[in-house]
């Protein structure tokens, strides 16, 4: 980071543009990815999943197109077979993967936007009443059984859209919001702990003396350094989000058919197991496990890099 020499320069200190710092932090993280086989494998698999989820549906055809080929076994025409109303399972699995990816990304980004400012504020003002209020509030979320809450909220409000005041909340949005809320305690804690370390660094004191506002220090200087441990947690939470969305859909409480998700495909497949339609339950589950395994491997390898003690 190039800081102007404060002794010579008369111009007031200006923080480098925020995206420069962020890009550097992400770059450092990506650079550290290549250091052990666990992260390397995780990275390759995760990228593969992301590619499949983004580009797969473009080539796979219409996931909603019915045909008379009901419960057809895998063939050249339908590599994953077809479902109980003759829809191509490959197209449905790929479309489901895309939903998994978007739900997990959206919920983690949502959780981070709420938790990062909270955690960093708590860390910067640690042991004051600000910290106390933030962390006790977060503890309340942590004390609630999350999967149960998800189940209850969606079970009770139904899987149609819910009208809250003037806002209409779609079922997918409900799931995203729930997972985002669930992720707040973890992200807040990690961000707080990392900020606590950064706060006592010399550069923070120096910036204060230069008259840089606290908001600028937290929002650009500390943020860059806090981002790395937080992003590691983000990968784990993406895995959790993929699982949670699928589990809710599997109970018939998530995003509803005919829109395919990996979870509701398995929900439908349950009824056709004893008809011998193994492909119906095997392929969606494989895709689901693949997504979760890759994200977990990546997160696991990364946390090793950050915490050499556990190695």
Among 30, 47, 51, 148, binds other proteins (CB under 8 A): 148
User: What is the distance between the alpha carbons of residues 94 and 61, in angstroms, rounded to a whole number?
Assistant: 10
Is the torsion defined by CA of 14, 15, 16, 19 positive or negative?
negative
125 is a contact residue toward other proteins (CB under 8 A): no
- Longest Cα–Cα distance in the chain: 80
Smallest distance, Å, CB 267 to other proteins?
A: 9
3-state secondary structure (DSSP) of residue 168: strand
DSSP state of 65: -
Among 58, 140, 167, 209, binds other proteins (CB under 8 A): 140
302 is a contact residue toward other proteins (CB under 8 A): no
Among 23, 30, 66, 273, binds other proteins (CB under 8 A): 273
In the complex with other proteins, which residue's Cβ is closer, 62 or 132?
A: 132
Cα angle, residue 226 at apex, residues 222 and 231 outer, rounded to 5°: 150
| N residues, the chain | 311
Supply φ then ψ for residue 287, to 5 degrees. Answer: -60, -45
137 is a contact residue toward other proteins (CB under 8 A): no
Helix and strand tally (H, E) in the chain? 11, 2
12 is a contact residue toward other proteins (CB under 8 A): no
186 is a contact residue toward other proteins (CB under 8 A): no
255 is a contact residue toward other proteins (CB under 8 A): no
Total chain residues near other proteins (CB under 8 A) = 46
274 is a contact residue toward other proteins (CB under 8 A): yes
- The DSSP H or E segment spanning 163 is strand 162-164
Among 178, 243, 254, 268, binds other proteins (CB under 8 A): 243
Smallest distance, Å, CB 219 to other proteins?
A: 30
The torsion region of residue 12 among left (phi > 0), alpha (psi -120 to 50) and beta comes to beta
User: What is the distance between the alpha carbons of residues 311 and 25, in angstroms, rounded to a whole number?
Assistant: 23
User: Of the listed pieces 75-83, 192-200, 211-219, 271-279, which binds other proteins according to CB under 8 A?
Assistant: 271-279
Among 247, 257, 259, 305, binds other proteins (CB under 8 A): 247
User: Of the listed pieces 138-146, 175-183, 190-198, 204-212, which binds other proteins according to CB under 8 A?
Assistant: 138-146
In the complex with other proteins, which residue's Cβ is closer, 208 or 270?
A: 270
DSSP state of 16: P
3-state secondary structure (DSSP) of residue 177: helix
147 is a contact residue toward other proteins (CB under 8 A): yes
For the chain, how far is it from start to end, CA to CA, in angstroms?
A: 30
157 is a contact residue toward other proteins (CB under 8 A): yes
Strands (E), the chain: 162-164, 167-169
45 is a contact residue toward other proteins (CB under 8 A): no
User: What is the distance between the alpha carbons of residues 241 and 250, in angstroms, rounded to a whole number?
Assistant: 14
Residues in contact with other proteins by CB under 8 A are 140, 143-149, 151-153, 155-158, 160, 162-164, 239, 243, 246-247, 250-253, 266, 269-270, 273-274, 276, 278, 281-282, 284-285, 288-289, 292-293, 296-297, 300, 310
């Amino acid at each position: 980071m190039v800081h102007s020499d404060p002794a010579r320069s008369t111009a007031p200190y200006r923080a480098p543009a925020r995206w420069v710092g962020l890009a550097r932090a992400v770059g450092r993280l990506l650079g550290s990815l290549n250091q052990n086989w666990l992260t390397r494998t995780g990275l390759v698999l995760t990228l593969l999943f992301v590619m499949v989820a983004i580009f797969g549906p473009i080539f796979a055809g219409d996931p909603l197109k019915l045909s008379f080929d009901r419960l057809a076994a895998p063939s050249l025409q339908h590599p994953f077979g077809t479902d109980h109303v003759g829809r191509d399972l490959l197209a449905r699995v790929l479309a489901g993967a895309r939903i998994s990816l978007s739900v997990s990304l959206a919920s983690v980004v949502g959780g981070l936007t709420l938790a990062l400012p909270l955690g960093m504020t708590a860390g910067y003002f640690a042991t004051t009443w600000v910290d106390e209020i933030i962390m006790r509030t977060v503890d309340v979320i942590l004390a609630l059984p999350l999967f149960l809450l998800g189940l209850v909220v969606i079970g009770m409000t139904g899987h149609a859209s819910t009208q809250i005041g003037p806002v209409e909340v779609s079922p997918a949005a409900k799931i995203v919001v729930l997972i985002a809320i669930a992720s707040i305690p973890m992200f807040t804690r990690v961000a707080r702990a990392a900020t606590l370390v950064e706060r006592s660094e010399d550069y923070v004191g120096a910036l204060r003396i230069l008259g840089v506002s606290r908001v600028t220090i937290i929002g650009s200087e500390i943020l860059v350094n806090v981002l790395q441990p937080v992003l590691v947690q983000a990968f784990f939470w993406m895995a959790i989000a993929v699982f949670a969305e699928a589990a809710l859909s599997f109970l018939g409480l998530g995003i509803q058919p005919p829109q395919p998700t990996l979870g509701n495909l398995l929900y439908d497949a349950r009824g056709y197991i004893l008809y011998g339609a193994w492909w119906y339950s095997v392929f969606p589950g494989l895709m689901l496990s693949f997504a979760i395994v890759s994200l977990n491997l990546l997160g696991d390898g990364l946390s090793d890099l950050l915490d050499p003690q556990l190695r």
